[in-house]
Amino acid sequence: MLAEIITIGDEILIGQIVDTNSAYISKELNKIGVKVYQITSVQDDRDHILQAFEDAKKHADLVIVTGGLGPTKDDITKQTFCDFFEDVLVEDKSVIENVAQLFKKYQLNKPLPANFQQAMVPSKATVLMNQYGTAPGMWLEKDKVVFVSLPGVPYEMKHLMQEEVLPRVIKRFNRPHIYHKTLLTYGLGESAIAERIANWEDNLPNTIKLAYLPSLGKVRLRLSSTGNNETLLKERIDSQMEVLSNMLSDIAVGFEDETSIVDRIAHILNQKNQTLSLAESCSGGAIVKQITSEAGISSFFLGSIVPYKTELKTKLLGVPTTLIKEHTVVSIEVAESMAANCCKLFNTDYSIATTGIAGPTKGDAVDEVGTVCIAIAAPSGVVSEKFSFGNDRFRVIEKTTNKALEMLLKEISKN
Residues 215-254 that bind its own copies (CB under 8 A): 215, 220, 222, 224
User: Residue 141's beta-bridge partner residues?
Assistant: 146
Among the residue ranges 231-239, 244-252, 387-395, 407-415, the one whose residues contact its own copies (CB under 8 A) = 387-395
> Which amino acid does the sequence have at 338?
M
DSSP sequence for 257-281? TT--HHHHHHHHHHHHT--EEEEES
Restricting to residues 331-370, name those near its own copies by CB under 8 A: 345-346, 358-361, 363
Residue 296: in which H helix or E strand, if any?
none
Gap between the Cα atoms of 327 and 371, Å rounded: 14
Gap between the Cα atoms of 139 and 148, Å rounded: 5
Among the residue ranges 70-78, 86-94, 160-168, 373-381, the one whose residues contact its own copies (CB under 8 A) = 70-78
From 393, 400, 408, 411, residue interacting with its own copies (rule: CB under 8 A): 393
- Angle (CA) 125-127-132 rounded to 5° is 150
Direct distance between the N- and C-terminal alpha carbons of the chain, in angstroms, rounded to an integer: 48
Site size toward its own copies (CB under 8 A) is 96
User: Residue 137's beta-bridge partner residues?
Assistant: 128
Cβ neighbours around 249 below 10 Å, total: 9
Q: Under 8 Å CB-to-CB from 23, ≥6 apart: which residues?
A: none
Strands 350-356 and 218-227: unpaired
Q: With binding defined as CB under 8 A, does residue 414 bind its own copies?
A: no
Nearer to its own copies, 126 or 187 (CB): 187
- Three-class secondary structure of residue 23 per DSSP: helix
> Binding marks (x or -) toward its own copies, 21..50, rule CB under 8 A?
-xxxxxxxxx----xxxxxxxxxx---x--
Among the residue ranges 165-173, 187-195, 328-336, 403-411, the one whose residues contact its own copies (CB under 8 A) = 187-195
Nearer to its own copies, 308 or 381 (CB): 308
Q: With binding defined as CB under 8 A, does residue 371 bind its own copies?
A: no
User: Residue 221's beta-bridge partner residues?
Assistant: 183, 212
Gap between the Cα atoms of 265 and 402, Å rounded: 13
Phi-psi sector, 306: left (phi>0), alpha (psi -120 to 50), beta: beta
From 54, 91, 97, 195, residue interacting with its own copies (rule: CB under 8 A): 195
Minimal distance, residue 124 CB to its own copies, in Å: 27
Q: With binding defined as CB under 8 A, does residue 187 bind its own copies?
A: no
User: Could you give the dihedral angle defined by the CA atoms of residues 50, 137, 174 and 171, in that order, rounded to the nearest 10 degrees?
Assistant: -150
Nearer to its own copies, 62 or 397 (CB): 397
Minimal distance, residue 337 CB to its own copies, in Å: 17
Q: With binding defined as CB under 8 A, does residue 100 bind its own copies?
A: no
Minimal distance, residue 87 CB to its own copies, in Å: 25
Minimal distance, residue 414 CB to its own copies, in Å: 25
Nearer to its own copies, 154 or 167 (CB): 154
> Binding marks (x or -) toward its own copies, 251..280, rule CB under 8 A?
---------------------------x--
